[in-house]
Amino acid sequence: MTAPATAVTGTHQITDIGALEILDSRGRPTPQVRVTLAGGIAAVAGVPSGASTGSREAVERRDGDQGRFRGLGVLGAVEAVNGEIAKRLTGYRWRDLAEIDAALIELDGTAGKERLGANAIVGVSMACARALAVAAGRELWEWLTPAGVAPRLPVPHFNVINGGVHAPNPLDFQEFMIAPLGAPTLAEAVRAGAEIYGALRSLLAERGQVTSLGDEGGFAPQLTEPEEVLALLVTAITAAGYTAGRDGVAIALDPASSEFRHADGRYHVAGQKLTSMEMVERYAEITERFPVWLIEDGLAEDDWDGWAVLTERLGERVQLVGDDIFVTNPAIIADAISRRVANASLIKLNQIGTVTETLEAMATCRRGGYAQLVSHRSGETTDSFIADLAVGSGCGELKAGAPARGERVAKYNRLLEIAAARPDLPYGVPPA
């Protein structure tokens, strides 16, 4: 990387790279990046954006100019791509994506990618990955498959009830998902998700509830107690003709509890102020009463002691996924593995900021025996990169919101496309 710009070390020459400001699903600006290789192959990537972010995430760069988009513009990040990044990446022959990503990290020079902006860097990294896959004559998921890993079609986790910071309702838990673990194929899993979503809409309407949607396309009813929602989900699953449970359609929760742990150190849930230990007991009861197979961010990102207890108590029978606590960071995940905190990690490209580091995070999980749930953000574009990442990594799990709204179904539709082209790929969570 320190070689002069004219040196020929690799085969990939980027001739053009540029970004523009587009809108995400919440109507907020986000960068879209386009990369062109010598020979004319071009690829585009749209950058996602979170709302319930972890404090250690790579930093999204926003303009802060209150005169544009209420301060949320990304012209600075776009200019970083069009200026400094384009200058650094064009005119040099790159060996592979790892070398490109390392150059981006070095050029930025900060631990949190805040100088150029993680939203600039991740867009470039994703577009480069796509372009290199096309250049190799491979589908993106094939190109992303690490050596020695078997690709699989993931279980889609459809977020059908939204709360927390994703909806203006009194529900403290952020996400209630349905996961067709027992579906025979990916297509049948998508069908189950859509049919249960439809059944749920009818049930809510019958009960006089609003059927307006939260940020990820799930319904946002005026409900308060998590258990009330779980009972409703079981009813919807059954009403749609499916079996609620691991053999059929299971439930997954993302309380996103960092958002409702207050300065008093308590978790404020439905009017109660619970300690970490009381939260663990609440989850234990929930998992005994309802077919909940996965809990993400059950405790807050700074409550590592609580997490250790939660893992000890429920880790044998429930998948415990770290999102805000791990932020797709290989070093933090490695630390968690050594401390037996959680047994799975959420995987979000923009939390760490490059495709290479994301793949490292997943490799760290595989080595430590931790499962991985590939994830969208609450602010999305129609970019479907994460569908390919979930398939190629063989992790067997993807969450991309409701089975509705264009930016959410773009991911599920990409899975359907891959499944149709490759009926030989197995569906589901990998056998233990």
Residue type, 189: A
Can you tell me which of 24, 195, 254, 388 binds ligand PGA, judged by CB under 6 A? 254
- What 8-state DSSP symbol labels residue 427? B
Q: How far is the CB of 304 from Zn ion (least distance, A)?
A: 17
Taking CB under 6 A as the binding criterion, the range among 75-83, 118-126, 373-381, 406-414 that sits at the site for ligand PGA is 373-381
Q: Which two tokens stand for residue 36?
A: 């062109």
Residue in 364, 296, 353, 371 with CA at minimum distance from that of residue 331 = 364
Is 378 an interacting residue with respect to ligand PGA (CB under 6 A)?
A: yes
CB nearer to ligand PGA: pick between 152 and 377: 377
Contact partner, 125, from ligand PGA, Zn ion, none, Cβ < 5-8 Å per class: none
d(CA 338, CA 264): 29
Decide if residue 139 touches Zn ion (CB under 5 A): no
323 binds ligand PGA (CB under 6 A): yes
Q: Which amino acid appears at position 114 of this protein? A: E
Answer whether 210's CB lies under 8 Å from 221's CB.
Answer: yes
Is residue 195 flagged as an active site residue?
A: no
Which of 113, 348, 399, 411 is catalytic? The answer is 348
Residue count at the site for Zn ion (CB under 5 A)? 4
- Which residue, 255 or 330, is less far from Zn ion as judged by CB? 255
Report residue 205 as tokens. Answer: 């309407």
Among 24, 101, 172, 254, binds Zn ion (CB under 5 A): 254
Size of the site for ligand PGA (CB under 6 A): 10
- In terms of DSSP bridges, do strands 344-347 and 319-322 run parallel, antiparallel, or are they unpaired? parallel
Residue pair 301/313 in contact (Cβ under 8 Å)? The answer is no
Active site (annotated) includes residue 87: no
CB 326 within 8 A of CB 342: yes
Q: How far is the CB of 377 from ligand PGA (least distance, A)?
A: 4
Interaction mask 306-345, Zn ion, x per CB under 5 A: -----------------x----------------------
How far is the C-alpha of 239 from the C-alpha of 191, rounded, in Å?
A: 14
Q: Nearer Cβ to Zn ion, position 160 or 256?
A: 256
Among positions 282, 377, 408, 414, the unique one binding ligand PGA when judged by CB under 6 A: 377
Site for ligand PGA in 177-216 (CB under 6 A): none
- The rounded distance, in Å, linking the Cα atoms of 121 and 14 is 15
Tracing tokens 């190629």 back to the chain, one arrives at 392
50 forms part of the interface with ligand PGA (CB under 6 A): yes
Site of tokens 């495709």? 355
**Shortest separation between residue 235's beta carbon and Zn ion, angstroms:** 25
Residue 51 interacting with ligand PGA (CB under 6 A): yes
Nearer to Zn ion, 375 or 381 (CB): 375
Strands 29-37 and 12-23, by their bridges, are antiparallel
- Identify which of residues 159 and 169 has a Cβ nearer to Zn ion in the complex: 159
Maximum C-alpha span of the chain:
68
Report the residue number whose CB is nearest to ligand PGA: 50
Please spell the DSSP secondary structure of 265-334, one letter per residue: S-EEETTEEE-HHHHHHHHHHHHHHS-EEEEES-S-TT-HHHHHHHHHHHTTTSEEEESTTTTT-HHHHH
Contact flag: residue 53 with ligand PGA (CB under 6 A): yes
Length of the chain: 432
Name the one range near ligand PGA by CB under 6 A: 13-21, 149-157, 309-317, 375-383: 375-383
Computed on alpha carbons and rounded to an integer, the radius of gyration of the chain in Å comes to 21
Residue 57 within binding range of Zn ion, rule CB under 5 A? no
Tell me 293's DSSP state: E
Query: Which of 214, 224, 239, 227 minimizes the C-alpha distance to 159?
Result: 214
Nearest-5° Cα angle at 269, 264 to 275? 45
Residue 258: name its binding partner from ligand PGA, Zn ion, none (Cβ under 5 to 8 Å by kind).
none
| 301 belongs to the binding site for Zn ion (CB under 5 A) | no
Binding site for Zn ion (CB under 5 A): 254, 256, 297, 323
**Active-site amino acid positions:** 216, 348
Binding site for ligand PGA (CB under 6 A): 50-53, 254, 256, 323, 375, 377-378
